[in-house]
Structure 1
Amino acid sequence: MTLKSLILVPFLATPALAGSLEPTPVEPAPVAPLAPVASPVTGDWTGPSVGAQLGYGSVDTDGAGDDSEDGMVYGLRAFYDHDFGNWVAGAGVQYDATDIDLGDAGDLDGIAKVGGRVGYDLGRTMVYGTGGYAHATTDGGSLDAGSSGGYYVGAGVETFVSDNVTLNGEVNYNEFSDFDDDDLEVGATTATVGINYRF
């Protein structure tokens, strides 16, 4: 073998012995899928709602039927509210049935209400004041008291527990002084909790 051949052998063998100059691709490590994150419930108070409530009432009568009694109240409600951002305004109707004994004035059958409310929007919770016209009906009793118009004022809180369902608590004072028996006056305080479906 000549000297020239010996010098060329290493150069001729290099491509066969050398690896590719391209870097070996690195496969990314597998990534575990992320669990879905539930979106928080946020309150949009605009729209109608219907609901039911259950609670307790305390009634004081003055005049011809001087007495003080208490008992359960239960009823239905329907409202329409509009969310203005920080504030919510609405109007609605409610009816609370009961059979609280009024002594000589018979039994308080129920209280119907028509009124409004103004609330402060805390996001998924609203605190509000409420008031309006109320009408009480009685049954039986020696006074034959009949029914009376009056008013109610109160305060409450309502909070979303899902996209369309809210829970609320409300305390109201109701006053009536226009019964068929002119001497009879009734003051009733009610405290209720309720569940509502918002459309």
Structure 2
Amino acid sequence: MKPTFTAARASMFALPFAIFGGVATAGGLAEPIATPAPAPVVPVAPVPVAGDWTGFYAGAQLGYGELDSDALDDDTNGAVYGAHAGYLYDLGSVVLGGELDLDGTNIEDEDADVALDTVTRAKLRVGYDAGAFMPYFTGGIAQARTSGAVDGDGTGGFAGLGLEYRISDSLRVGGEVLQHQFEDFNDVDGLDIDATTATARVSFQF
């Protein structure tokens, strides 16, 4: 009888451990699954598109011109076309530069037998860097050459305004309006000629 009691008592002590082990095996007390913390999101600052007009450039222009003089008809006008080349230096907000350009024209006064053949200019340019746009002021010295009844040339001054838009780092387009004054043209006293030109321009930057 005593061995039976001892076996029964051992079974009573073993039963709770067996139950606990079964519950643990069934996952009731399984270890929690660790969830990795999300990676920190670092904001990416937008990269500003900086404009830089510095460099050599060259291109062509096409437009309209008109002459005004007491010796000419009021409708002395026609097309102008030519080429230009220059250099700009971007200082940040201010853009400085110089340019040479040459225009040919078909402006002619048939009654007075005077034709404006060419206009050559040496320019100074002062612009404002507005990113892709650059409004500017320009002025300098111009020389006009005529043929016909007045076969010669004259030197004068000019001033005007322009605007350029940069399509890419190497290509830009724009427009320009210039007012010219030639006094005593071809050394003829009292022969004063004013000329206005308006052109569209295409330039390639190097």
Give TM-score scaled by structure 2 length: 0.79
Q: CA deviation at 1:155?
A: 1.0
SS of 1:10's partner is: helix
Larger radius of gyration: 2
Aligned position for 1:118: 126
1:41 to 1:55, Cα distance in 2 relative to 1, 3 A? farther
Alignment check: 8 A CA contact 1:145 1:180 kept: no
Give the whole-Å Cα distance in 1 for the aligned partners of 2:48 and 2:106.
42
Task: Determine which of 68, 72, 75 is the counterpart of 2:79.
Answer: 72
Aligned position for 1:131: 139
Give the whole-Å Cα distance in 2 for the aligned partners of 1:107 and 1:80.
32
Aligned position for 2:104: 97
Alignment check: 8 A CA contact 1:144 1:180 kept: no
Alignment check: 8 A CA contact 1:55 1:190 kept: yes
The 5 Å alignment of 1:37-52 reads: 41-52=49-60
Aligned position for 1:196: 203
What percent of counterpart residues are identical?
A: 38
Which segments of 5 or more consecutive residues in structure 2 lack a partner in the other structure? 1-7, 39-45
Alignment check: 8 A CA contact 1:171 1:192 kept: yes
1:39 to 1:166, Cα distance in 2 relative to 1, 3 A? farther
Q: What amino acid is aligned across from residue 71 of structure 1 in structure 2?
A: G
Q: CA deviation at 1:15?
A: 3.4
SS of 2:151's partner is: coil
Which one is further off, 76-85 or 143-152? 143-152
Q: CA deviation at 1:185?
A: 2.6
Q: How many residues align?
A: 186
1:134 to 1:160, Cα distance in 2 relative to 1, 3 A? same
| Superposition RMSD in Å | 2.4
Q: CA deviation at 1:67?
A: 2.0
Give TM-score scaled by structure 1 length: 0.82
